[in-house]
A and B are shown apart, each in its own frame.
Chain A
């Protein structure tokens, strides 16, 4: 026992004193989202050692950073949360001296609603939220949210819905013809009723590892495009649909924290990931597009023409960019969502 304690204490000392010798950078990102190759290349180029720490939800990340004393330099939250981060002054503006290549950002991502003029953030990855269907089980039209919100009998009881409020609420609101941040109470009531009526037909409200689809636990679901692609690569019965009534487009964005300990290294990293050849590494790893012009040529072959990544022309229009809703609207959405989850 005594030896155990000594060992523990020694390890404790070792781990606290090791870090400070070298130039470092602390990245706070979604789990399994950061390409190791990307970090290696960055270290090679700059000599800066990157440590990645994971978060599992936007809410955890926000709560953690708000409280301070975290030691992180860069965080990668989703578009619908960015406004809160900026309003609470948790980010610092990007340094134009170091982040010189913001023009690499694809035009449609340059002046986004959640961060006008890209003053604080750059794209990490973006994707769509649509439906995934096992076409060997159901052969009807899959470009509709109906397969989930009012499912055919073949799919009922075999559906999984990702437990992400902004994605699911958006799909349901579009399904009823509303705007993302609608405060039309009649419409919202319909949205709630639709969701509550559909819920008994859902088997799970889970992130549902890619495996669960491939192994046949689920026959359909609301899912992200990149994850759906991974499913198809394992089981080609699965296809990804873009609901015609509207589907959300989301984006995760990298930003430098206001209380970053290594702001300069962080700015260098930001400029690094908006280089096309580096952004492509992010995409190849995570299977999502990245929003940087010219990165396509560095991407894996199977990414370039994947039906999950390249939106069919006739359905491009239906995609809606993320939008941060006013607090009072958000409150109503949250209430509907928690009612649904209970």
Chain B
């Protein structure tokens, strides 16, 4: 609506900085993708086009397993974290002060404030104890640990969205005798979607990045892509990793495209 009046939203130099940021953001990615097609072992010298690293990655069971495990772990953890954070954000935002609020904030943000290694060691001790006591050594521990770690990241954008949200619409809904649930379902939730989406995406990439915690919590056969790479760090990172990273990028592009096709269809 406001975009019709272009000058209002225009701030000189901002476009240039934004373009610069996007270029810087993609420069390493372009190099990474390029070298995933390199014929040689080197990640610095171009030796011709080849698909050998893709072939190697596909043939390597371990690489395939850890990639898939990383993906679904990120999906599960950020999914749970987003739901829990949305609820918590609704309980703590625009509701006035209430007893215990500060404590809730502190608890929600706590995983952010401690370096991963500390949470990792703490979880190692606790989780190992639970594993011995219960005999259950499955992925549940990793999902829980990742969920907890993703919550503050998912919570903040959702809360920021709620805080800047216009509440007149919800008041109007209440005036029209909508009950709490209806007001939430038809007014608040749709308005909240960008925040929830941002929270989910943040949680997802954070889970994909979580390496130290996973390293300490994982049991046999629970390597994720980052811990697999961490293990390689001491020896050498193979160009297979570039190939895998490129595939992850391609996957994200597919999801984005699918998302657009779906929203377009719904829009028309």
Contacts and interface: CB of A to CB of B under 8 A. Distances in A.
A55 B132 CA distance: 21
A67 B86 CA distance: 36
B231 A56 contact: yes
A54 to B, nearest CB: 3
A71 B76 contact: no
A11 B76 contact: yes
B79 A5 contact: yes
A185 interface: no
Interface in B210-245: 215-216, 218-223, 227-238
A11 B74 CA distance: 12
A53 B223 contact: yes
Contacts of A26: 220-221
B5 to A, nearest CB: 36
A75 to B, nearest CB: 11
7 contacts: A5-B79, A8-B77, A31-B230, A36-B59, A52-B62, A56-B231, A234-B42
B232 A53 contact: no
Interface of B: 41-45, 59-62, 69, 72, 75-77, 79-80, 82-83, 121, 124-125, 127-132, 137-140, 143, 196, 200, 215-216, 218-223, 227-238
Contacts of B127: 69
Interface in A125-168: none
6 interchain residue pairs of minimum CB distance: A31-B231, A69-B131, A8-B76, A54-B231, A67-B128, A71-B220
Q: How large is the interface on A (under 10, 10 to 19, 20 to 34, 35 or more residues)?
A: 35 or more
Contacts of A11: 72, 75-76
Interface string A202-237: 000001011100110000000000010010001000
Of the listed residues A11, A16, A56, A214, the one surrounded by the most CB atoms of chain B closer than 10 A to its CB is A56
Contacts of B227: 54, 56
A36 B218 contact: no
A72 interface: yes
A26 B237 CA distance: 23
B220 A215 contact: no
A286 B238 CA distance: 13
B76 A36 contact: no
B222 A53 contact: yes
A1 B72 contact: no
Contact of B233 (A7, A207, A215): A207
A70 B236 contact: no
B235 A33 contact: yes
B218 A53 contact: yes
Given A28-B220, A69-B219, A12 B139 contact: yes
Contact of B76 (A9, A73, A210): A9
A32 to B, nearest CB: 4
A71 B131 CA distance: 9
Contact of B220 (A32, A53, A210): A53
A151 B226 CA distance: 36
A5 B83 contact: yes
Contacts of A36: 59-62
A46 interface: no
A56 B234 contact: yes
Contact of A215 (B42, B60, B218): B42
Given A15-B138, A54-B231, A55-B231, A69 B215 contact: no
A84 interface: no
Given A30-B235, A31-B230, A31-B235, A70 B220 contact: yes
A10 to B, nearest CB: 9
Contacts of B234: 30-31, 56-57, 207
A21 interface: no
Given A8-B80, A67-B125, A67-B129, A32 B236 contact: yes
A90 to B, nearest CB: 13
A38 to B, nearest CB: 13
